[in-house]
Amino acid sequence: MKQLVILSGKGGTGKTSIAAALAHLASSEMRLVLADADVDAANLELVLAPTRVEEHPFEGGAVAEIDPDECLACGICEGVCRFDAIIPGEQSYQVDRLACEGCAACFYQCPKQAIRMVPQQAGEWYRSDTRFGPLFHAHLFAGQENSGKLVTMVKQQARLLALDTDADLLLVDGPPGIGCPVISASAGADMALLVAEPTISGVHDLERVLATTDHFGIPARVLINKTDINPARAGDIEAFCQERGIPIVGRIPYDTTVTEAMVNGQPITAYADGPATEALHLAWAHLREALRS
């Protein structure tokens, strides 16, 4: 089983449209499991129209809670809290739940064991069926952190099913950027497809995400999206890739049909023939061969 992760140095490059199209193309040739690892803005489901078959709570961490009947109002917890999350009172102290970072320093220092750490549900993760294969995805509640941990959960579940069902490919739609969730999404990948756009920051965004995949030793391929909207910037990306020895698997021209397909809940490759679909077929053929070698 091979694992392909799709990344981009920033959001809005068309990464999810490309992930949906590759899911469509790959599913006609092999057994596929999908993971939407962009848990802060999961939108692969908007194109794949999944049917949920499992729903699970996700505990992202814990917050401190003080038992007022046990509290001596000694103030030790206020002194050790680096996040100003303890609110003093005359009879007992309280915790500001929004300010609490869950570090548990107060829990260990309280002389009366008046503090307990209460697990918090930070989101949900799901297993769904799609016409291209099972999809694992998630929803992180507003204001919640730990998205790296939730990405790891989604990935683990997808990988387990892929191994259990002897799937050929685990296709991961990764989060944009270079943070902790990107590292979680990339873990164990056999290859990373980096989606770049010919914008002012295009090369810089690509360089940043490439530094992450290089650090973890993941071979990368580049796909330039909307390549003709700025040929000069596209040329900069091409030159950068040539200099770094990174193969370019495709150049997708700007094609209004891509948006039309998204609005209709379809991957572009399933929706219409045209320049974008043609470029995606070529890109998939290149990726398939690269994954085999």
Which residues sit at the interface with ligand SF4, rule CB under 6 A?
Answer: 64, 66, 71-77, 80-81, 83, 85-86, 93, 95, 100-106, 110, 112, 114-115
Pick between residue 76 and residue 180 the one whose CB is nearest to ligand SF4: 76
Give the nearest distance from C-beta 95 to ligand SF4 in angstroms: 5
What are the structure tokens assigned to 282, written together?
């070529």
In the chain, the DSSP E strands lie at: 2-8, 32-36, 51-66, 86-87, 94-95, 115-130, 133-140, 169-176, 191-196, 220-225, 248-252
Pick between residue 73 and residue 191 the one whose CB is nearest to ligand SF4: 73
Pick between residue 99 and residue 211 the one whose CB is nearest to ligand SF4: 99
Give the nearest distance from C-beta 133 to ligand SF4 in angstroms: 41
Q: Which amino acid is at 268?
A: I
Residue located via tokens 């091409």: 238
Q: Are 193 and 4 in contact (CB under 8 A)?
A: yes
Give the nearest distance from C-beta 60 to ligand SF4 in angstroms: 14
Give the nearest distance from C-beta 146 to ligand SF4 in angstroms: 15
| Alpha-carbon gap, residue 3 to 77, rounded angstroms | 46
Pick between residue 43 and residue 109 the one whose CB is nearest to ligand SF4: 109
Give the nearest distance from C-beta 121 to ligand SF4 in angstroms: 17
Q: At 183, which helix (H) or strand (E)?
A: helix 180-186
Pick between residue 30 and residue 80 the one whose CB is nearest to ligand SF4: 80
Would you put residue 209 in left (φ > 0), alpha (ψ -120 to 50) or beta? Answer: alpha
